[in-house]
Amino acid sequence: MMKIQSGVTTILMLMLLLCAEIPVHAADKKLTSLLAPYDEWYFNFLYPNALPADVTYVELLDTDGILYRYRALDGTIPSSTTVAEWEDDLSVGMASFNKAKNPPQAMHFCWDSIIDKKVYETWITFGYPVWEMMLTPYPSPWDASVQEYRRYLVIGLAPEGKVRVWLENT
């Protein structure tokens, strides 16, 4: 059963590739421009205050066509400042396990909402605007001579399967 499920997941990820804005078989020059100029980028999951959620599995397809599978993830982080609605400026720290080399094309993850006692499966596809934000350097707010990149993806999980994504710089 696990082999069939894994095969189905792989087929679904390949279908996502075909629907992506820049397919894997695109010109090498176009693909090369989507490779990260930094070692890795990070992603973390968080949930609103007193509404716990737990991520159990993640699959991530990057712009270089590499499929990552995460079974051991960094813990889902509570956001004590998020009560009635999501904050615009969230900081969750650096991940130890949740990282990849190049920007994401697609992400698939399974998570449990403890409050509504349901398991959710979420698919997110990323396109050129996100890749451009992740690959374009900008001057550091602390030192204009230093170039930084937006390489921290924060994914908020709320009851009823609601998901929100932020791209952060620190």
Neighbour count for residue 149 (Cβ, 10 Å)? 16
Q: Which long-range contacts (CB under 8 A, 24 or more apart) does 89-94 make?
A: 90/46, 90/154, 90/156, 90/166, 90/168, 91/168, 91/170, 92/44, 92/46, 92/152, 92/154, 93/44, 94/42, 94/152
At residue 136, the pLDDT reads 93
How far CA 96 is from CA of 75, 101, 116, in Å, comes to 10, 14, 29
Average pLDDT over residues 8-14: 45
Which residue ranges make up each domain of the chain? 2-168
In this predicted structure, the answer to whether residue 23 has a pLDDT above a threshold of 90 is no
In this predicted structure, the answer to whether residue 25 has a pLDDT above a threshold of 50 is no
- This prediction has a pTM of 0.76
Q: How far apart are CA 135 and CA 96, in angstroms?
A: 21
Q: Which tokens hold the place of 149?
A: 């990149």
Q: Which tokens hold the place of 79?
A: 């956001």
For residue 55, the SS3 value is strand
At residue 168, the pLDDT reads 84
Using 50, 70 and 90 to split pLDDT, how confident is the model at 82?
A: low
90-127 per-position pLDDT tens digit: 666 666 778 999 999 999 999 999 999 999 999 999 99
At residue 84, the pLDDT reads 62
At residue 60, the pLDDT reads 97
Give the position of tokens 């716990």.
Answer: 52
At residue 86, the pLDDT reads 66
Using 50, 70 and 90 to split pLDDT, how confident is the model at 8?
A: very low
27-78 per-position pLDDT tens digit: 444 545 688 889 999 999 999 888 999 999 999 999 999 999 999 887 777 7
124-165 per-position pLDDT tens digit: 999 999 999 999 999 988 899 999 999 999 999 999 999 999
> Which residues make beta-bridge pairs with 120?
111
